[in-house]
Structure 1
Amino acid sequence: MSAYAHIPSLGIPRVATGQAHFLAEGPTWDSTRGILLWVDIMAGVVHTGRVLSGGAIEQVERVPFPDTAGAVAVSRAGEWLVAGTHRLYTRSVDGEITAGPELLEGAERRFNDGKPDPVGRFVVGTKGPGGEQLLQIGADGTVAVLDDDLGLSNGLAWTRDGRTLYSIDTLSRRIHARDYDPATGETGERRVFLEITDEYPDGMTIDADDHLWVALWGEGCVIRISPDGEIVGRVDVPAPHTSCPVFAGPDLDTLVITTATEGMTPDDLAAHPLSGRLFTVRTGHRGIYPNLWAGTPAALSLEETA
């Protein structure tokens, strides 16, 4: 029985896509163009789709990048910023992909989850052998280190006023919080907001009431957490490796949940045949508009690669 069985259910999700991904992650809603974006990290692919009224997701594009694709962000103009293995890539509105300078080293380390902050800086974490980082990359390409002692940097979310940053360290099972100044990018001291005792917190989003929604890898569940740190709701998913939620759709009232098949045996896949798909559910709650990336390829000193 799930450790969260006593928590009120917030709806039953439907399977929204037919394709099974190895490691679907990082969904984001492009509200300007009405398109959902998500990544399949190890395949190095960014997918786009339309969220239909019944909850299905109609695939629009499948865009490969030169290496892994840990996260994707969108600018107001429609450019994409993609976290590759050791560098950032952009894709222009006409499809041209360019690569930035190498920012990480080590064959076992790569960029992982990342999102723009309230004024458009890109905050992105790393996955590797240990001592992982959370970096803040300015619109002009300057890099600041927010953390350098993480086990696995993962989900990110800012409150509606932008004054608090939540971040997940998956391996320590901790959700951190810190004060955040959107104008300057300066942060306060990191503190433990909540420690998860069952399975591993992965991707995260926030709703219009400043409640966090956290995917629990291995649990097949997304939990809703109040600003006081109380788990107040759950969505059970028929795929154990739930990776990240986001609110999408014209009214931001459809919760999209990505899942993965990574680490699953043939017996696991037989028991959970919908693993790797995307799911949608109406929970009665709404999200907030995702932050937009404010940089440009020129500011990041990018060079054309494709």
Structure 2
Amino acid sequence: MSALERVPLLGVPRVATPISHHLGEGPVWDPIRGRVLWVDITAGVVYAARFSYGGAIEIEERVAFPDVAAAVAVSATGEWLVAGAHRLCVRHRDGSITTGPDLIDGADRRFNDGKPDPAGRFLVGTKGPGPELLLRLGADGRATVLDGDLGLSNGLAWTSDGRTLYSIDTTSRRIHARSYDPVSGTTGERRVFLEVDAGFPDGMTTDTEDHLWVALWGQGCVVRISPDGEIVGRVDVPAPHTSCPVFAGPDLDTLVITTATEGMTREDIAAHPLSGRLFTVRTGHRGIAPHLWAGTRPPTTSLEETA
């Protein structure tokens, strides 16, 4: 028995959506409108849905964007900020879409996972041949480079007080941590919080006890990690490519997990026919209040190195 198999199970997930996604990712809870949002990255689609009986998710909107839809964030007034391939888009409340200028370039590079910080600034990483970036976009539209040496920038999460930022570099299997000023955004020195030895860490979220919940791509599970870096629980999912979890619902007590079929053969999908679906599970834990995006328009192209 592997070390991961010895970790206690934290509930049995149920299938929540009738459709499968190629690269389902980035679930977000919108507490104001009571909806779950997520993306199918390569399809360039953002979904918005409500919970129904028993943890099922009923899709209300399916909105296509110009190229990819790598991540979505929502503002207090209902605008969506969506990371495309090289630029960011805003979907306004009337349904119109404003596209910003290119922030990155490269035919083999695109934006990847992104989230607002406690003050509503948007952090977003890149995926490509490397080295890859983690950027922060301020309310003034300026972009600051937090990291410029990543293999694949992925999941982001903060502690409940906003004073520690966790970020994932998937290819190195590392979860990084650094101090973070939730008001100014000033960061401390980056350190390795945990190196994962089973699967590849992808998306993540935080619970009220400041434990991380990390999706392990290729491992078919989400693990709960203590502030000391110990894996203390897991949720097994009948889909090997688990991509990202988030706590959702009015009480933030339902864990929503996205999965993908990307990179799977026909034989793989036949063996795991629920791949690409969303799953929900009650784990006995609750998430922290989601951060909302503070902007209303796409950021500019101005980049500056962090001090």
TM-score range, shorter chain: over 0.9
Q: How does 1:208-227 map to 2 (within 5 A)?
A: 208-227=208-227
AA aligned to 2:170 is T
2:299 is matched with 300
CA contact (8 A) 1:139 1:296 kept: no
For 1:59 and 1:98, how far apart are their aligned partners in 2?
A: 24
Query: What is the CA deviation profile of residues 88-120 of structure 1, one whole-angstrom value per residue up to 9, with x for unaligned ones?
Result: 000001101000111001000000000000000
| SS of alignment partner, residue 54 of structure 1 | helix
Q: Count residues in correspondence.
A: 301
Query: What is the CA deviation profile of residues 160-199 of structure 1, one whole-angstrom value per residue up to 9, with x for unaligned ones?
Result: 1100000000000000000001221110000000000111
CA contact (8 A) 1:3 1:198 kept: no
Deviation, structure 1 residue 2: 5.9
User: What is the aligned-residue identity percentage?
Assistant: 74
Q: How does 1:249-288 map to 2 (within 5 A)?
A: 249-288=249-288
1:70 is the counterpart of 2:66: no
Q: Residues 262 and 195 from structure 1, CA distance in 2 versus in 1: closer, same or farther, beyond 3 angstroms?
A: same
For 1:291 and 1:276, how far apart are their aligned partners in 2?
A: 26
| SS of alignment partner, residue 9 of structure 1 | coil
Deviation, structure 1 residue 53: 4.0
1:178 is matched with 178
2:83 is matched with 83
| SS of alignment partner, residue 55 of structure 2 | coil
Q: How does 1:144-159 map to 2 (within 5 A)?
A: 144-159=144-159
1:205 is matched with 205
For 2:44 and 2:131, how far apart are their aligned partners in 1?
A: 24
2:304 is matched with none
Q: How does 1:161-172 map to 2 (within 5 A)?
A: 161-172=161-172
Q: How does 1:124-135 map to 2 (within 5 A)?
A: 124-135=124-135
For 1:249 and 1:294, how far apart are their aligned partners in 2?
A: 22
Unaligned runs of 5+ in 2: 302-307
1:240 is matched with 240
For 2:201 and 2:247, how far apart are their aligned partners in 1?
A: 18
AA aligned to 1:300 is P
AA aligned to 1:214 is V
Of 94-103 and 45-54, more deviation after overlay is shown by 45-54
Deviation, structure 1 residue 139: 1.2
CA contact (8 A) 1:205 1:213 kept: yes
CA contact (8 A) 1:26 1:203 kept: yes
CA contact (8 A) 2:137 2:299 kept: no
Q: TM-score, normalised by structure 1?
A: 0.97
For 2:77 and 2:182, how far apart are their aligned partners in 1?
A: 21
For 2:85 and 2:288, how far apart are their aligned partners in 1?
A: 29
AA aligned to 1:135 is L
For 2:2 and 2:40, how far apart are their aligned partners in 1?
A: 27
Unaligned runs of 5+ in 1: none
For 1:203 and 1:221, how far apart are their aligned partners in 2?
A: 12
For 1:11 and 1:171, how far apart are their aligned partners in 2?
A: 29
1:114 is matched with 114
Deviation, structure 1 residue 301: 6.1
Q: Residues 251 and 118 from structure 1, CA distance in 2 versus in 1: closer, same or farther, beyond 3 angstroms?
A: same
RMSD: 1.2
Deviation, structure 1 residue 124: 0.4
